[in-house]
A and B are shown apart, each in its own frame.
Chain A
Amino acid sequence: EVQLVESGGGLVQPGGSLRLSCAASGFTFSSYWMSWVRQAPGKGLEWVANIKQDGSEKYYVDSVKGRFTISRDNAKNSLYLQMNSLRAEDTAVYYCAREHYGDFPPFDIWGQGTMVTVSS
């Protein structure tokens, strides 16, 4: 079964750090671009970052540039998001998502999400 499972969410104080993980199974992880997408409580979806198959290209939404780092370990079939200098507005459910093949692809597989709460 094709599956993505996120972990690592929790409660953190403003200015703190957190590292999210996403474990992939059921497909050749190293063949796909991967993304993180977040959803603040009661709000819509917001793309956060993505990473190329070999990790050589990474892109971020402006609001997290310089604070968040996306990475992957293809040997462990895992995707990561290191989040530093967290702010209240980073509070959200964070989903990892697989990008389908092709140009301008859809996100065809999503994890169940992990909740990050930034609060004092």
Chain B
Amino acid sequence: EAGVTQFPSHSVIEKGQTVTLRCDPISGHDNLYWYRRVMGKEIKFLLHFVKESKQDESGMPNNRFLAERTGGTYSTLKVQPAELEDSGVYFCASSQAGGYEQFFGPGTRLTVL
């Protein structure tokens, strides 16, 4: 069974540009989560989808971040326009309906210059 995949693995962009990160959860997992780790700090929750609906978006830092999960399958996280402080590693995770264990992808390392 394929795990959670994320694309791209690395992205380097300039301040003010737009970047879109993609996450493909494990097939059949209704729950999808986005997290972010800024250099050397703790991993912070961004938001939680249940199927295509946003269950909890309390961790989204500001309106430059837009997450979507059309059709309840893969998800995208768009940052527009990117700022220097957005640099970090963005993790996606998924879990079964009613399941507590979250399965994480390898992350996308975003560098904003």
User: Is this pair of chains taken from one and the same complex?
Assistant: no
Q: Which A positions have Cβ atoms within 8 angstroms of B?
A: none
